[in-house]
Amino acid sequence: MTTATTVKTEYEAIIGLETHCQLSTNTKIFSNSSTAFGSDPNTNIDPVCMGLPGVLPVLNEKVLEYAVKAGLALNCQIAKYSKFDRKQYFYPDLPKNYQISQYDLPIAEHGWLEIELVDAEGNPIRKRIGITRLHMEEDAGKLVHAGSDRLSGSSYSLVDYNRAGIPLVEIVSEPDLRSGLEAAEYAEELRRIVRYLGVSDGNMEQGSLRCDVNISVRPVGRKEFGTKVEIKNMNSFSAIQRAIDYEIERQIAAIDAGDRIIQETRLWQEDAQCTSSMRVKEGSSDYRYFPEPDLAPIEVSNEQLEQWRSELPELPAQKRHHYESELGLSPYDARVLTEDRSIAEYFETAIASGANPKAAANWITQDIAAHLNKQKLTITQIALTPTNLADIITRIETGKISNAQAKQKLPDLLSGISPEKAFAGQELITDPSVLEPIVDEVIAANSKELEKYRNGNTNLKGFFVGQVLKKTGKRADPKLTNELVEKKLNA
């Protein structure tokens, strides 16, 4: 959960995001070429994605399934009838000189997702952000600028068509966002959702999730929007926030100076931490859309729609609410546990195996998370099963082992050693008749410390407790040991 911030009180930012999400299909949207990332340039290509004469596209059914599932997860209305369109523009990385996309009849419309923030006083804020539309389309290729030139920075460009024809869904939000922080949180929640669904890996560093920001400012209280500017080239959530915050200040300064804001596309310059003009923004009429003649319209039956709906998992926001209201977890713990679906499933399996929810949350978000971060592992790669974690927590709560013993044995447990083997012969001594003679022996062996304690240095109680734990190999029940030591010292 992130703390909410605001811009200058006399102005209001109006922000919407256009997010391109690459779908995790094995093959491209209209052909059978691989979608594998990192292949040698121009190896994952075929006549269809290269736009060669005489070839026809065929829709990958998995693309339709993933698009519908994403639309359902975003609370959208799924179109019973939709179609593809040609979007005309000429660029070296677009082999056909047009892109197959969806224009006036997209597959999904009128949805929403919820973001979570906290205000300055730490109170939770939940805000619903509208989703205008979600549509399917193909990606273009990639230009690689190389060489060196004193003015432009490169002297030639190479084109890699591996990405041409990669399946995308474009998700367009309503202009409901008001700050860079809200926009970054929206993009993060969107990534959580598509990852939970399994329809995309959402890796921004590989271009699987790309966000373009539309932003304008207006005086507070005015209904009309200001002139919209688009920002591109943001490769992280923090970059989205910083780019928006910069652009808000730039537009406010321009308005205060009497300058005119023009509708344009700007690039975020990460090194300089500023935006710069790229080109005047095109309108939809510039693309000369018309229905794609080589693809039939799409009809989704009620039976197919309900089948795909039934396959949806519980989504991150639902899990967060469930963890807080029913399991009593803090918003922080709920957020960390639901960040990744595999972590949430690990946690829920531990709970189902009898683990106390708060104790399981503490182990997963603290000790296990520290191990994962240090070793650069995911939770599915550790040998400690959620059932064994539940066993460990139960042993602690029933007094068979201490929390300290469990933490000491954690490296062995993470490597796959069972709790039975790890704690064999390590059960806590909880019988007072066994522990009392050991306490007497420790006190008798440390008469100087006993005298200091009885002269007022009560901090030495910890010394005696430590000696008992040492003598028993840390098997003495800490609570019982404290009680017995205090009783004997004050006798």
**So what's the pLDDT on residue 182?**
96
Q: Would you say residue 9 has pLDDT above 80?
A: no
Q: What is the mean pLDDT of residues 184-189?
A: 97
**So what's the pLDDT on residue 328?**
95
Confirm if 25 and 148 have CB atoms less than 8 A apart: no
pLDDT in tens, 56-91: 999 999 999 999 999 999 999 999 999 999 999 888
pLDDT in tens, 434-482: 888 888 888 889 888 888 888 888 888 889 888 988 888 778 888 888 8
Tell me the pLDDT band of 400, cut-offs 50, 70 and 90. Answer: confident
- The per-residue pLDDT of the chain, averaged, comes to 92
Q: Would you say residue 6 has pLDDT above 90?
A: no
Q: What is the mean pLDDT of residues 383-398?
A: 95
In the chain, % helix, strand, coil (3-state, to 5) comes to: 40, 20, 40
The tokens for 309 are: 């709906």
Tell me the pLDDT band of 391, cut-offs 50, 70 and 90. Answer: very high
- Rounded to the nearest 10 degrees, how much is the dihedral formed by the CA atoms of 394, 400, 403, 404? -150
Tell me the pLDDT band of 283, cut-offs 50, 70 and 90. Answer: low
**So what's the pLDDT on residue 241?**
97
Q: Which residue has the tokens 């069972």?
A: 418
Q: What is the mean pLDDT of residues 32-58?
A: 95
Q: Is 125 helix (H, G, I), strand (E, B) or coil?
A: strand
Contacts of the segment 307-313: beta carbons below 8 A, 24+ positions apart: 308/65, 308/68, 308/69, 308/72, 309/72, 311/69, 312/69, 312/72, 312/73, 312/197, 313/196, 313/197, 313/341
CA gap 266, 272 in Å, rounded: 14
Q: What is the mean pLDDT of residues 122-135?
A: 92
Q: How many CA atoms lie within 13 A of 419 on its CB side?
A: 20
CA gap 64, 135 in Å, rounded: 10
Q: Would you say residue 152 has pLDDT above 70?
A: no
Most confident of 197-201, 405-409, 464-468: 197-201
Q: Would you say residue 150 has pLDDT above 70?
A: no
Least reliable range by pLDDT among 194-198, 366-370, 373-377, 427-431: 427-431
Domains, the chain, in order of start with CATH, read: 2-305 (no CATH), 314-422 (no CATH), 432-489 (1.10.10.410)
In Å, how far from its chain's centre is CA 123? 22
- Rounded to the nearest 10 degrees, how much is the dihedral formed by the CA atoms of 331, 333, 334, 338? 140
Q: Would you say residue 425 has pLDDT above 80?
A: no
Q: Would you say residue 149 has pLDDT above 70?
A: no
Tell me the pLDDT band of 375, cut-offs 50, 70 and 90. Answer: very high
Q: Is 142 helix (H, G, I), strand (E, B) or coil?
A: strand
